Amino acid sequence: MLQEVHVGHKSLADYQSVVVKPLMEEIKELADSLRGKRVLHINATSFGGGVAEILYTLVPLMRDVGLDTDWRVIMAPQEFYETTKVMHNALQGNPVSLNPVQRETFEEQSRIASESLGGGFDFIVVHDPQPLLLRHFSGDLGANWIWRCHIDTSSPNQSLARYMLPFIELYDTAVFSMEQYVFSGLNIPTRVFMPAIDPLSTKNMALSPEDADYVVSQFGVDAGPPVMLQVSRFDPWKDPLGVIDAYRIVKKEFASVKLALVGSMATDDPEGWSFFTSTVEHAGDDGDVLILSNLNNVGNLEVNAFQSRADVIVQKSIREGFGLTVSEALWKIKPTVGGNVGGIPSQIKDGETGYLVDSVEQCAERCMWILDHPEESRAMGRAGKEHVRAHFLMPRLLRDYLRLFSEIGQAS
């Protein structure tokens, strides 16, 4: 079944002081021509992970500019999410693809969900593979269907790609975050635009150092010792174990350094629990490694506080569709060290807005340099913030969707 997600109100006018005027004007112009259009976003979870993060802001902003926009999540038994996690991993290159039983689960649950879709939409935006088959089971419903893939699909498992391709080709348009993610052989129009963060959300609004210190002190991190931080789901592709290894190298030089790993449990990520346990085991009994999640009441404000308090932020991913956490870190003027993969290099310009790394050793080395050079690192953080302002704030993403709607709406 498909369940409605309720979002709060947001006003585009509040963003005018954080982005440039021509962008705001373009949004207004595009929105005028789309006023009253019905838009539906569908994804797999309202909690945890980047897509939910984006929709909590994008949906209310679309409403604010005059589009009648809703957001629904696909609700299904646990086997469905286990299956779609296999798909997610295979799309990122894992050799294991769906077995026949999993395909059947995926198709049957998609069919059931499609029964509650209803009609009357102008644009239906389906995010990621979980709800992909809704288009197949629903017919076109007189809507423009957009498949928005957020995953790094630069080298997908070929058997899964072959299975998915005919279903993707039922869509009018597919949107990817980077050119190299576009499935080879995909025979429908495609677009490339990147995700964005909400600079005004509780997660990204400016927090004073005092407030940040106070919030993180509740979790046992005092003001003073240097803090390394990675914020991400407990997922092997995010390489928290590699972050712990890098921290251990840093610890030899900076004895007082602490590591915070903050990772939420997304409801559509059944692997999260077992990998959380492996991460805790890998950390052992080191009291300077803090492993926290939403289960410790680490919500958006707490993530903000950890990011604002950290001395160096790491996103040591092995695969990363985009990595909102990188923009979140740069927005807080933090020198950031990221894996040289997927969407991270578009945010981190090596040596300018942070450092890109390919190994644990390199990660440790860059973190140590940052801890040793606070002034230079802060200058890099400032450059990072302006880079995010120019490219990765929500009004730009809203503009990209409005452009897309207006172009495909006119064509249809």
What residue ranges bind ligand UDP (CB under 6 A)?
A: 49-50, 53, 203, 231-233, 262-264, 293-294, 298, 300, 303, 322-325, 328
31/298 with CB nearer ligand UDP = 298
CB of 215 vs ligand UDP, minimal distance in Å: 14
84/325 with CB nearer ligand UDP = 325
CB of 60 vs ligand UDP, minimal distance in Å: 16
Q: How many CB atoms lie within 10 A of CB 206?
A: 13
Two structure tokens written together for 314: 């790491």
CB of 232 vs ligand UDP, minimal distance in Å: 6
219/254 with CB nearer ligand UDP = 219
CB of 104 vs ligand UDP, minimal distance in Å: 27
How far apart (Å, rounded) are the C-alpha atoms in residues 169 and 44? 20
264/308 with CB nearer ligand UDP = 264
321/335 with CB nearer ligand UDP = 321
114/317 with CB nearer ligand UDP = 317
CB of 51 vs ligand UDP, minimal distance in Å: 6
CB of 298 vs ligand UDP, minimal distance in Å: 6
CB 333 within 8 A of CB 199: no
C-alpha pair distances (Å), 167 with each of 130, 170, 310 = 12, 6, 43
Cα Dmax for the chain = 63
Buried b (16+ CB within 10 A) or exposed e, 221-255: beeeebbbbbbbbbbbbbbbbbbbbbbbebbeebe
CB of 32 vs ligand UDP, minimal distance in Å: 31
250/326 with CB nearer ligand UDP = 326
- Residue whose Cβ sits closest to ligand UDP: 50
How far apart (Å, rounded) are the C-alpha atoms in residues 388 and 271? 31
C-alpha pair distances (Å), 116 with each of 73, 75, 111, 167, 216 = 11, 11, 10, 19, 43
CB of 235 vs ligand UDP, minimal distance in Å: 7
First to last CA, the chain: 29
Two structure tokens written together for 367: 């973190």
Look up residue 84 and give its amino acid: T
How far apart (Å, rounded) are the C-alpha atoms in residues 334 and 175? 30
30/395 with CB nearer ligand UDP = 395
DSSP state of 169: T
Strands (E), 75-150: 123-127, 144-148
144/230 with CB nearer ligand UDP = 230
CB of 321 vs ligand UDP, minimal distance in Å: 6
Q: What are phi and psi of 287, to 5 degrees?
A: -70, -10
Residue carrying the six token digits 């890098």: 246
Residue carrying the six token digits 């249809």: 412
CB of 313 vs ligand UDP, minimal distance in Å: 11
Q: What stretches of 188-288 show up as alpha helix (H) in DSSP?
A: 209-217, 240-253, 272-283
50/129 with CB nearer ligand UDP = 50
| CA atoms 251, 253, 255, 257: torsion sign | negative
Residue carrying the six token digits 């644990």: 360
CB of 296 vs ligand UDP, minimal distance in Å: 9
53/239 with CB nearer ligand UDP = 53
* Strands 144-148 vs 2-4: parallel, antiparallel or unpaired: unpaired
